[in-house]
Each structure stands twice: as C-alpha cells, then as structure tokens.
Amino acid sequence: VVDGALDAWAKGGRVGRLMVEGASMQPLLRPGDVVEIDHTRGPLRRGDVVAYRTDQTLVIHRVLRDPVDGCIQVAGDNRTITD
C-alpha cells in the first residue's frame, strides 16, 4: 500500500502524508506524528531530512554529509549507526 501511494504521489508531483511508526528520528519525529512527503527533487544537503524505501519499508532519516558521486550517507537522529 505504501509503495503504491508513494508512486502515485510522486507521479502527480503531490505531497503525501504518512504517520510515523518508529523511534529512529526522535526527538524530531515521534511515533504517531504525521509527516508530509514532498516529491520535489532538489539538491540534497547535509542536515536535510529525506524519505527513502528499503525493501517494503519507508524510512525517514537525516543526510549526514553532502552527497558525493550521487551517494548519500543517512542515519536516524536517535541512532549511532549509519545506513
């Protein structure tokens, strides 16, 4: 369901809303918070909060460093391990 909704929002250039379920972005985002996913594609920078898919899961994390060669390093604010 999430994949289908994200694909539809992205194709239409629309903003979608989803409820946060995990704790990896606490204290910024807490379980039960509602986030808006904006499909605008601008240059990513260190400190941006991004949403991405891994398997069938939507993950929201922070960009740790400016992208290099199209690769980004991300992690949740509540974690010490990068993804």
- Look at residue 54 in the predicted model and tell me its pLDDT: 85
Closest by Cα among 38, 26, 20, 30 to 62: 26
Q: Is the pLDDT of residue 75 over 60?
A: yes
Q: How far is CA 5 from CA 12, 25, 75, 81, 83, in A?
A: 11, 22, 24, 29, 24
- Look at residue 18 in the predicted model and tell me its pLDDT: 85
- Look at residue 1 in the predicted model and tell me its pLDDT: 44
Chain segment 35-55, per-residue pLDDT in tens:
988 877 778 899 999 988 888
- Look at residue 11 in the predicted model and tell me its pLDDT: 63
**65-82 as b/e: b if 16+ CB within 10 A:** eeeeeeebebbbeeeeee
CA 79 to chain centre: 15
Mean pLDDT for the chain overall: 82
